Amino acid sequence: MSLVTTLTYVLPHRLLSSLARALAYSDSPRTRRWLIDTVTRRFGVDLAEAAEPDPGAYPTFNAFFTRALKPGARVPDPDPRALLMPADGRISQCGPIEQGRIFQAKGRSFTAAELLGSEVAATPYADGLFATVYLSPKDYHRVHMPWTGRLRETVHVPGRLFSVGPGAVASVPRLFARNERLVCHFDTDFGPMAVVMVGALLVSGVETVWSGEEIPAYGDRIASKNWSGEEIVLERFEEMARFNYGSTVIVLLPAGVAELAPELKAETPVRLGQRLARLG
């Protein structure tokens, strides 16, 4: 285990994330310029595909980090039966949910019930499929719908804010089931679909298109919101949420409805809109 990962066990996660948030939303020209220049240079951010390619035009670092893309910069897979990749990034892991467990890294897994915060909610995904997508600092940080769905419920599951980088994923047991997260349950024409927005150290902000900022505020207990009466329907490829900074998104599908794209493996770079799976 790396020193940084070891330190995250004792660091004040929420305090550090709150301090990072203050910097991200600062309108100080010097702070904004330093943060944007540092991230752009260190991670090789491609601003040519951004709707606003001028880094000096963003009022805050967070506005830069959650930037929109030019029309046509990402397009959905043309196959009408294809479920879409929800974000830019790379595959952390993907595959079958085996006996209710989701693979994290060599020798490590966690249960779907732990991830979703409910044994009942996990039941439809027993023996289903999962895909875990890691968003790095250089990536587009908006998350889009894999398939058209009607929002039924969101569940804010409190937790820690460990890093979700490769080192932490390999060494922190049950990482994604321990970090603070927002579980979004959708009803689709093939059954239920869950999209889980996982927070992380310094990257713990989550907003949705239907209710705005969800994290922070940080939670002390599991909190559910029933949206079934609101008739919130989001179309395939439509934006659903964003990370204020970045993190990880996990998609869960029921058994027998789709097959994952065969080229997807751990560490595969992916782009929003490419094929994640295909309905059977």
Cβ(253)–Cβ(128) below 8 Å: yes
pLDDT at 246 over 70: no
Non-local CB neighbours of 43 within 8 Å, separated by 6+ positions: 136, 137, 138
Helices vs. strands in the chain: H and E counts, helices first? 8, 18
DSSP classification of residue 98: B
**Lowest mean pLDDT segment, chosen from 65-69, 77-81, 169-173, 224-228:** 169-173
Alpha-carbon distance 271 to 17, whole Å? 27
Q: Which residue has the tokens 């990034």?
A: 89
Residues with a catalytic annotation lie at 88, 144, 247
Q: What is the pTM of this model?
A: 0.93
What size, in residues, is the chain? 280
Alpha-carbon distance 50 to 57, whole Å? 12
Alpha-carbon distance 99 to 193, whole Å? 18
| Residue-wise pLDDT tens digits, 105-126 | 888 999 999 999 999 999 999 9
Helix 13-24, helix 29-43: angle, nearest 10: 110
| Residue-wise pLDDT tens digits, 21-78 | 888 889 899 999 999 999 999 999 999 999 999 999 999 999 999 999 999 999 999 9
